[in-house]
């Protein structure tokens, strides 16, 4: 980081070990992926991109959105879904695929360190074949469908990632015990 932040609050927070993994399958819009990369840098999350990408990794808009944080992003680029799947952690880590077609909420998952959060491209979402192959792993984020077709990719990733981190942190933080009664 080029400029350290001077106004950082000292939160009690436990970062997951092993870290989470975020997978973007065929992302198309450079600033969305750049913003996801910045989120990954801020949370220690691994970023996996599944080709084909709708941009070059040298794209100036991608770089600009990620600012000077790219060196802090554990980035993995995979030629296809099977290659990505082979590179992801084995169980007990689980995969959650985010889609507008899921009847299960993103908060219904019991996230654990090392889990994998998978998102599709901005215009089509995840391929139907992928959704059909993992029906129990689908999760969705509610929205008013009379107003929009979907959330922005970065917004959906941020909502899901921070819910996973919140749950993992709660599980890692001991519950305060009341003082003994005299």
Q: What is the pLDDT of residue 58?
A: 77
Domain of 139?
A: 21-172
The number of distinct structural domains making up the chain is 1
- 141: pLDDT strictly greater than 80: yes
Reported as half-sphere exposure (CB side, CA atoms, 13 A), residue 75 has a value of 16
Average pLDDT of the residues in 129-151? 90
Q: Is 177 among the domain residues?
A: no
CATH code assigned at 42 = 3.40.1280.10
Name the more confident of 13 and 1: 13
Q: Is 131 among the domain residues?
A: yes
- 23: pLDDT strictly greater than 80: yes
Q: Is 15 among the domain residues?
A: no
Q: Is 3 among the domain residues?
A: no
Q: What is the pLDDT of residue 1?
A: 52
Please state, for a pLDDT cut of 70, what percent of the chain lies above it: 87
Q: Is 52 among the domain residues?
A: yes
61-106 pLDDT tens trace:
666 655 677 788 889 999 999 999 999 988 777 999 999 889 899 9
148-170 pLDDT tens trace:
888 899 999 999 999 999 999 88
Average pLDDT of the chain?
87
- 137: pLDDT strictly greater than 80: yes
Q: Is 35 among the domain residues?
A: yes
């Amino acid at each position: 980081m080029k400029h350290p932040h001077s106004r950082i609050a000292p939160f009690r927070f436990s970062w997951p070990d092993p870290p989470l993994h975020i997978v973007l399958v065929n992302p198309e819009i450079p600033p969305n992926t750049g913003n996801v990369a910045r989120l990954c840098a801020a949370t220690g999350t691994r970023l996996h991109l599944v080709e084909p990408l709708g941009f070059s990794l040298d794209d100036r808009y991608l770089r600009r959105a990620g600012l000077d944080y790219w060196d802090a992003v554990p980035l993995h680029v995979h030629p296809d879904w099977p290659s990505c799947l082979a590179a992801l952690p084995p169980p007990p880590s689980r995969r959650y695929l985010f889609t507008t077609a899921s009847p299960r909420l993103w908060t219904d998952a019991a996230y654990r360190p090392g889990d994998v959060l998978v998102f599709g491209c901005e215009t089509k979402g995840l391929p139907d074949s992928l959704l059909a192959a993992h029906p129990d792993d689908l999760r969705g984020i509610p929205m008013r469908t009379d107003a929009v077709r979907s959330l922005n990719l970065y917004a959906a990733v941020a909502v899901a990632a921070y819910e996973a981190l919140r749950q993992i942190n709660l599980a890692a933080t001991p519950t305060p015990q009341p003082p003994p009664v005299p």
